[in-house]
Amino acid sequence: MSATAIHLAPVPTSPIEEIAPLVARLRETFDSGRTRSLEWRRQQLKGLIRFADENSDALVKALQADMGKPELEARAADIGQINVEAKLALKNLKKWTRPQSAGKVPFMGKSFVVRDPLGVVLIIAPWNYPVGLLLSPLVGAIAAGNAAVLKPSEVTAHTSAALAELLPQYLDTDAIALVEGGVPETSALLEQRFDHIMYTGNGSVAKVVMEAAAKYLTPVTLELGGKSPCIVDRTADIPVTARRIAWGKFMNAGQTCIAPDYILVDESIEDELIRELEKSVNEFYGGETLENTDYTRIVNARHHKRVSDLMAGEEIAFGGESRAEDCHIEPTVLRNVSPDSPIMASEIFGPVLPVLPVKGVDDAIDFVNRGEKPLALYLFSGDSGTEERVLGETSSGGACINGTIMHIGNSKMPFGGVGPSGMGAYHGKYSFETFSHRKAVLRRGFKFDIKMMYPPYTEKRTKMVKKMM
């Protein structure tokens, strides 16, 4: 099989001078009340579904031109998110938007919670899953009744251009707009006042986003990453464990925010696990990834060099081939890695997997807790007590037992980080909640007006209140 060639494209841009008027136009639309209508929300959600259905082939071609993504991964892990999220929102929109009773308090009346749209929101997406991570949050923003500005990544230029050309044909362009470009355009966007900002990417840029948001006290949702650990104890089924780790790690060439970043394995099974990992990789890719259409490329030369440099001086258990001209790094497993080495200092975000032996689950838990809280944590174990301990004694955005990646696929669960790995959550109803304000409302009648509430506060009334308390 011949690999899909990557074609570099110029960074697409939107005129910076048009950004402020664009945001103003969207705010005017929101202020008109148009986006509050449930019918408007349904129309936009149906438009997103039609967009995905009618343009999936074009989006696959764009993703292949940008990253050499296998068609199956492009459809299942990226484009497919749109229909899943939009159909769920359509099905539940009436229920989600219905006022929620908060019960009755004696003499106070009826209490309920109303979900209000926030206003005009900004969604900034990364390059690793440039379709799903842009439009999946948009589903929640639309369902909640907001206007939205979309900022796709300039790194995946073909995909950005395809989205800019095709998406406006399916959505209300007075309420939903897309801005292309790099740092200058993003900076110009961040100078505007938004009612919520959602950013998916790395922690360094997240700090810039938060700093800009602070100017207007704008709330933010941050979907970041970190070094997601994978713990393997001696009770695990090693062949199954190896297949599931290899799939989760090397899908999209490791360029996944919740990919296993490193393995902490019981030292008694380290050699067996590495052998099974190599066996799994060979089964997946036929022993060859350079010309294999089932294997993604590194997104660009800068990231290729970054990941290649992290491997320098490390002991390679298998893999290790790196070709800059093809933006290719084959699936690689490292062993005898020092916890203090550069590759253990930051998220790898590439197809390189360090394996670190530990004496047991106590050491693994201690190792995880010495680092920053990760976006995901993986445990492979046949022991329920170990499962309880790891879940109870560590903190992570999400976790998966005896599997990798797949917890993100259930839209009925929140997806988000904790601490440095993120702030807030989305997917399904959680996206709707993220882009909504929960307004507390109390409704009283006129018939019962208890005068003891009002001055003068006599001694008798004070005593009565004390008894009631």
List the structure tokens of 292.
């294999």
In the residue annotation, 257 being an active-site residue is answered as: yes
**Catalytic option among 73, 223, 276, 314:** 223
Read off the tokens for 29. Answer: 């639309």
Amino acid, res. 402 = N
9 Cβ neighbours under 8 A, 6+ residues apart: 65, 66, 157, 158, 161
Give yes or no for a contact between 200 and 223, defined as CB atoms under 8 angstroms apart.
yes
User: Do 347 and 261 meet the contact criterion of CB atoms below 8 Å apart?
Assistant: yes
Query: Which stretch of DSSP H or E encloses residue 457?
Result: none
Lookup: tokens for 180: 């292309």
Measure the N-to-C terminal CA separation of the chain; round to a whole number of Å: 77
Active site residue 85: no
Nearest to 241 by CA among 407, 400, 70: 400
Say how many C-beta atoms besides its own lie within 10 A of residue 183's C-beta: 11
Q: Which of 88, 64, 92 is nearest to 78 (CA)?
A: 64
- The closest of 241, 285, 273 to 356, measured between CA atoms, is 273
The amino acid occupying position 185 is: E
Torsion angles phi and psi, residue 444, rounded to 5: -115, 155
Asked if residue 159 lies in contact with residue 10, where contact means CB atoms within 8 angstroms, the answer is no
What radius of gyration do the chain's Cα atoms show? Answer: 25
Spatial distance between the Cα atoms of 47 and 37, rounded to a whole number of angstroms: 15
Q: What Å distances lie between residue 372 and 249, 293, 404, CA to CA?
A: 20, 35, 20
Hunting for tokens 């959680």 — which residue is that? Answer: 430
Q: Residue holding tokens 């997103």? A: 48
Q: How many CA atoms, within 13 angstroms, populate the side-chain half-sphere of residue 306? A: 14
Q: Which of 230, 257, 327, 400 is catalytic?
A: 257
Catalytic residues: 223, 257
